[in-house]
Amino acid sequence: MFQQIRGTLNKQADILESLHRNVVRQMEEQVRSLDKLTKGLEENLKFNHSSLNESIKLILLEVAAAQDYLSVTASKEIKNVCGHSQY
């Protein structure tokens, strides 16, 4: 009984580690990228009002890419990892 529980806990720990490595880290990278773009936009707002429209378009493209990743790729990866855990 103890070995079965231990095995189940180890599998779940492996799944969480995989999710962290494959999903959370990629999401963190997207957040860092968005943060960098936001800071760039702030600088443009301070010094170059004529490029505001272009800066906003760039930020919106990055946001759309992050949303696509979360709704498509991340969901598939999570389902894939969780699907392998049900033995």
**Annotated domain spans of the chain:** 2-85
What single DSSP character describes residue 49? G
Grade residue 50 by pLDDT with cuts at 50, 70 and 90: low
pLDDT score of 51? 65
Grade residue 2 by pLDDT with cuts at 50, 70 and 90: confident
Mean pLDDT of 24-40: 85
**What is this structure's pTM?**
0.42
26-64 per-residue burial string, b: 16 or more CB within 10 A, e: under 16? beeebeeeeeebeeebeebeeeeeeeeeebeeeeeebee
Mean pLDDT of 56-84: 78
pLDDT score of 87? 41
**Alpha-carbon gap, residue 18 to 24, rounded angstroms:** 9
